[in-house]
Structure 1
Amino acid sequence: MLRRHRIISPRTLLAWHQRLIKKKWMQPPSAGRPPVPQGLRQLIMRLGTENPHWGFRRVHGELRRPGHRVSPAAIRRILRAAGLGPAPRRHPTRGEWTTFLKAQSNGLLATDLLHVDTIGLQRLYALFVMEVHTRTVHILGVTAHPTAAWATQQARQLLWHLGEHAAGFTHLVRDRDAKFTAAFDAVFASEGITVAKAPPRSPNCNPHAERFIGSVREECANRLLIYDRGHAQRILHDYAHHFNEHRPHQGRQQLAPLDDPKVLLLPAARIKRRQAVTGLINEYRRAS
């Protein structure tokens, strides 16, 4: 009778009993070492990122100087969790190029090709060079069939146009496009300008040129239909004029490339609007 109306099985009852015994005699987990504070974790990752040739023991020694107390093993775990493996850490290329670009910006040129498509689906290519320190852009030429000889000739015309100003440049950053040949590099080498080739498939190593290409497309090329090569050349030259003489740049404290940073302008009582690049862009200037 009792077996027929039982609520639980003997196996369940025994399991509950064993669980109670285990709970009674189980020791509480030890607290262990206190966790590394978040601020110190960030400092460890910063040291590992900024110094790719430092191992965890070198980081440990550097942290002891300002009085931080953390074990080498903890530093190693934090660096590994952040993807900063044993030193020397691989692929520090982006950081090295960032440092190089900042150090050489006063005498740095950057070049690249940008493309636009016409209403007839013909692809046109424009070669440009930027003076990185001032962000001044030179549109060298537009063609449907860019060749190495064409790019080399455009480089010669640029240096002729720059004249004595070319002596202030020391490096040119370019990608590894086949149109940039040894003859192209030799044109700049003749003026004492060293050509620095960006790593393969690394547009981030030529950021100023890439940013200009993005600005052209966002503010100009993607907002109108281009008829032919002549139309594309006029539009790009108009945009370069706006870019150099009016467009503010964060890297220049919101000054345009050709603005004089020594000139302090007082607030204008009245301003007037001028439409540039076939009316695509508004420019605001002092009213006379």
Structure 2
Amino acid sequence: MTIFLATLAGWLNRRQLDVINYLHAENEILKEQLEKKDVKLALSNTQRRKLAKCGKKLGRKGLMQYASIVTPDRILYWHRKLVALKYTAKRKIQTDRQKEMETIREFCIKFAEENASWGYGRIQGALSNLGYEVSETTVGNILRAAGIPPSEERMKKSTWKQFVRSHMATMCVADFLTTEVWTMRGLVRYHTLFVMNLAKRKVQIAQISCQMNGQVMAQVARNLTDSEDGFLDKMEYFVCDNDPLFTNEFCETLETSGVKVIKTRVATPEQNGYAERFVKSLKEECLDRMIFFGERSLRKAINEYVEHYHHERNHQGLDNLIPFPYASETKGRSGSVVKFERLGGLLNYYHRENGEEERLAG
């Protein structure tokens, strides 16, 4: 029995050593791969603490034999440093004034970034309106520390985002999207051109066709700039990408009507982000979830979605409000909840009916 136990113990020790040797070899291979790709390990304090705690038990001799990620001296250094920090680390005591200065700093940066013409004095006044009293020097120090230049320099570097936000009431954006439709000739690609009023998030489908060319686009431009019911009436800017379908004749027609055409840079879809967002929403919520047989079915789906987009869909960019809600609805908690469906339940909208109307109807 004694011989058996001794044999079993020896076998277990060899088994454990084999496991350790395998893990050691595996770590060395991983380390070589990282060094080959010139990647350095970025260990967190938690990971360092774990290695230091385990390495302390092995001692220097054990670390020399098994450590492969870092050197034994480095692990022991971490251990000494962690022990020292236990007794020398300083606690940060934040007073009420320090907390208030953090808030003031955030507002200073926010005001400067959103208002290029605001100088130190104007920002100081805005802070005073909110109940924070600081000097102009303090405002200047905060902005310089954040790398924000004075108002004179900021006004020279107006960003595209600032331009769009300041002209949103008189700006429209446009884009194309394509959809494959089954016809008698097989799959046919249809182009849909839409125009969006940024301030109101109002969308108009300008054209749906499988044959887009210069003549069609010229007629679309005349429709958009019609003096009586043109969608671009009272608009000053028309933003689009460099699609060849936005022909010179199309742009000249808009320019003649007083609408300046601004084409975004090539391969920068973020400059037309509002239009790109509408395309994504339309595809994800509607078009990509349907199969179309004929142009009529495509037109019906797109028109239904635009109605849903205007009157029933909440917009995160408008503080989660609906652009053109139905007047007959109520936001109170009285009245029954009604579900309204479009496209067979693909687009749903829930609202409460007016309790007084329900009572009279009953």
The TM-score bracket by the shorter chain reads: 0.5 to 0.7
User: Are 1:94 and 1:204, in contact at CA under 8 Å, matched by a contact in 2?
Assistant: no
The corresponding residue for 2:287 is 221
- Partner residue of 2:110 out of 20, 43, 46: 46
Alignment partners' CA distance in 1, 2:213 and 2:248: 13
- Kindly, what percent of the aligned residue pairs are identical? 19
- Partner residue of 2:321 out of 228, 247, 254: 254
Q: Helix, strand or coil for the counterpart of 2:167?
A: helix
The corresponding residue for 1:153 is 219
Superposition map of 1:132-151 within 5 A: 132-151=198-217
- 1:52 to 1:199, Cα distance in 2 relative to 1, 3 A: farther
The corresponding residue for 1:125 is 191
Q: Are residues 1:67 and 2:134 paired?
A: yes
User: Are 1:111 and 1:172, in contact at CA under 8 Å, matched by a contact in 2?
Assistant: no
User: Are 1:141 and 1:233, in contact at CA under 8 Å, matched by a contact in 2?
Assistant: no
Pick the structure with greater CA Rg: 2
- Structure 1 position 74, deviation (Å): 6.5
- Partner residue of 1:112 out of 148, 163, 175: 175
Q: Helix, strand or coil for the counterpart of 1:125?
A: strand
1:212-253 per-residue CA deviation (whole Å, 9 max, x = no partner) reads 222211210121223454432332122223333433445387
- 1:235 to 1:98, Cα distance in 2 relative to 1, 3 A: same
Q: What's the TM-score once normalised by structure 1's chain length?
A: 0.63
The corresponding residue for 1:25 is none
1:113-148 per-residue CA deviation (whole Å, 9 max, x = no partner) reads 122345777543200122344433221222345333
- Partner residue of 1:163 out of 209, 214, 228: 228
Q: What's the TM-score once normalised by structure 2's chain length?
A: 0.52
Superposition map of 1:90-105 within 5 A: 90=157, 92-101=159-168, 105=169
User: Are 2:143 and 2:149, in contact at CA under 8 Å, matched by a contact in 1?
Assistant: no
Task: Determine which structure has the larger helix proportion and give its number.
Answer: 2
Alignment partners' CA distance in 1, 2:123 and 2:146: 15
User: Are 1:60 and 1:70, in contact at CA under 8 Å, matched by a contact in 2?
Assistant: no
Q: Are residues 1:194 and 2:270 paired?
A: no
Residue type at the aligned position of 1:176:
D
Q: Which moved more, 1:251-260 or 1:122-131?
A: 251-260
The corresponding residue for 1:21 is none
Residue type at the aligned position of 1:139:
I
Superposition map of 1:14-33 within 5 A: none
The higher relative CO (CA closer than 8 Å, separation ≥ 6) is in 1
Residue type at the aligned position of 1:67:
V
Alignment partners' CA distance in 2, 1:41 and 1:198: 37
Structure 1 stretches lacking a partner, 5+ long: 1-34
Residue type at the aligned position of 1:138:
Q
Q: Helix, strand or coil for the counterpart of 1:170?
A: coil
Q: Helix, strand or coil for the counterpart of 1:238?
A: helix
- 1:39 to 1:146, Cα distance in 2 relative to 1, 3 A: same
User: Are 2:223 and 2:230, in contact at CA under 8 Å, matched by a contact in 1?
Assistant: no
Alignment partners' CA distance in 2, 1:257 and 1:229: 28
Alignment partners' CA distance in 2, 1:133 and 1:72: 34
- Structure 1 position 159, deviation (Å): 4.7
Aligned residues: 240
- 1:218 to 1:135, Cα distance in 2 relative to 1, 3 A: same
User: Are 2:225 and 2:232, in contact at CA under 8 Å, matched by a contact in 1?
Assistant: no
- Structure 1 position 153, deviation (Å): 1.9
Alignment partners' CA distance in 1, 2:231 and 2:347: 31
- 1:159 to 1:62, Cα distance in 2 relative to 1, 3 A: closer
- Partner residue of 1:244 out of 305, 310, 316: 310
User: Are 1:244 and 1:258, in contact at CA under 8 Å, matched by a contact in 2?
Assistant: yes
- 1:259 to 1:249, Cα distance in 2 relative to 1, 3 A: farther
